Amino acid sequence: MATEESVSAVSTSTEADSQTGRTVLRLRELILTGEFGPGDRISEQPLTGRLNVSRTPIRLALERLAHEGLLEPYPTGGFVVRKFTLNDVWDGIEVRGLLEGGAARLAAERWTKDSDLEGLRRAQGNIDTMGEPTADSFPAFLELNDIFHAEIVKLAKSDMLR
């Protein structure tokens, strides 16, 4: 599967199917590629023209990214790109690793039939086909990686973990 096909697999995810989902993906990409740097203020109005969407999906996307920790509310309105220290990054990696390890253990204990693994195998195949991420393909890689980990959580059959 070519990189373009891997990217199209990402666009078939539930998040990418809605206007808000596409806006979240695009804003996340702008942040992760450095177009919006740490401390930069992000307001709804300028984004409407840049992303060619109305304010409602922008507002919802900004709130979602704030919930994910990429943005912080600005005291007088809007959002700013969150600044991460090296310790923040290491702590995040450590915590995610602990949760993912637990999810993988639960998934291994709870899957019951081979067909349960189809989504996980498909996600891994898309990642393998993409190969090493580049600066251009990194946002698509992040989405494929999220799909892969969502499949593990699904197999874990734990509402608490989800």
Q: What is the pLDDT of residues 73-82, one digit of tens each?
A: 998 888 999 9
- Give the contacts of 107 (CB within 8 A, at least 6 positions apart): 152, 153, 155, 156, 157
Judge if pTM exceeds 0.75: no
Domain around 55: 16-81
Which residue, among 148, 150, 158, 131, has the nearest Cα to 5 in the 3D structure? 131
Instruction: Specify burial of residue 101 (Cβ count, 10 A radius: 0-12, 13-18, 19+).
Output: exposed
Tokens 């199209």: give the residue.
8
pLDDT in tens, 85-101: 889 889 988 998 999 99
The Cβ of residue 87 has, within 10 Å, a number of other Cβ atoms equal to 8
When divided into structural domains, the chain yields a total of 2
Which of 51, 62, 54, 52 lies closest to 24, judged by CA?
62
User: Where residue 35 sits, what CATH number does that domain have?
Assistant: 1.10.10.10
* Pair type for strands 79-81 and 71-73: antiparallel
Residues 63 and 122 in one domain: no
Identify the domain boundary among 48, 81, 114. Answer: 81
Boundary of a domain, candidates 28, 63, 81: 81
Report pLDDT digits (tens) over 36-63.
999 999 989 899 999 999 999 999 999 9
